A = this chain, B = another copy of it.
């Protein structure tokens, strides 16, 4: 195990009806900015649930936050916060709404441009507006981490930023809030959480460690649960599993003692920045292709992946055969649940691959050291 510091102060209220905790959690705050996306929360009752518990507060709203949240929406939120002296941001929605809200929370406490100062120059915030969340989708895990990812469309950049001030004070995770989620988002979120687990799992050190064993158990839980949730969207147990795994997959647990490579996310962020690809769907395409590119130096780990996650019988197979079979099993799983597995399916023009590869800020990881030409190869293999 590598040395690590684990710290995660988010208070999670998990389960049906937990939205009533808002009253106690917000008792010391008065001017609340409620942020949300396209308005689905007004149709499924979540908006009403939240507002009922904000009675007596001065409530402001920022709506229309899109997937792959953009700088313009962050600027809009910062303006509302500054003009109205907002003392708490309540993000209600999926990972995009949460990420956008985190960027607003720190951007509102500085006179610097949030994108240049934090995302480009990597300065650290000294203050941020306190933030809580009511998450309505399983996938990003943004409800229990201190990170956000924002897209700058003009500059074709999709960057992540993390700081301890960005941890939500609390998060309400009610699995019933995902019952009405469009199937597309259920699938995309599932690919996202699965990819999060693999980003840590496929990083060194490789063997006999607590964290990898936990990761394998989480992956198996996802495989079983999404199959149930696709058949019966109102299966509470399956929805609960997907939500809790999604949270655990990024709250630091699966990173403990690991190198944490996150290279597939880099490869996907370029797709999103160029073509507004849905994050989870992009990952379903690039992650298996990334693994096909690096597996040869980590055969024993892929052996474990094959046997423990995919129940592949190892008898009579070489480690290389087992490794490839495990990656095919992963691709077949993504296909089975309805995710794309090629860039073609994402409508990405082949002649953009070279430019995208050049524009991907890769770095040396414990599993790989990709050149621009390697990235081009991975994208081409994924076509």
Contacts and interface: CB of A to CB of B under 8 A. Distances in A.
Interface of A: 1-18, 21, 175, 205, 207-211, 213-214, 216-218, 220-221, 224-225, 236-238, 240-241, 244-245, 248, 253, 256-257
A339 B236 CA distance: 41
22 contacts: A1-B175, A1-B240, A1-B244, A2-B15, A5-B13, A5-B14, A6-B11, A7-B9, A7-B11, A9-B9, A14-B256, A14-B257, A208-B237, A209-B221, A209-B240, A210-B245, A213-B217, A213-B221, A214-B214, A214-B217, A217-B217, A244-B256
A12 B1 contact: no
Contacts of A9: 7, 9
Given A244-B257, A257-B240, A6 B14 contact: yes
Given A3-B18, A208-B237, A244-B257, 19 more contacts: A1-B14, A1-B15, A1-B175, A1-B237, A1-B240, A1-B244, A3-B15, A5-B14, A208-B241, A209-B240, A210-B218, A210-B240, A210-B241, A210-B245, A213-B218, A213-B220, A214-B217, A214-B218, A244-B256
A12 B3 contact: no
B221 A210 contact: yes
Most chain B CB atoms below 10 A, which of A209, A217, A225:
A217
A205 B244 CA distance: 15
A12 B6 contact: yes
A4 B247 CA distance: 14
A175 B224 CA distance: 35
Contacts of A13: 3, 5
A-B CB proximity, top 5 nearest:
A3-B15, A213-B217, A217-B217, A1-B240, A7-B11
A175 B7 CA distance: 19
Nearest to A205: B237
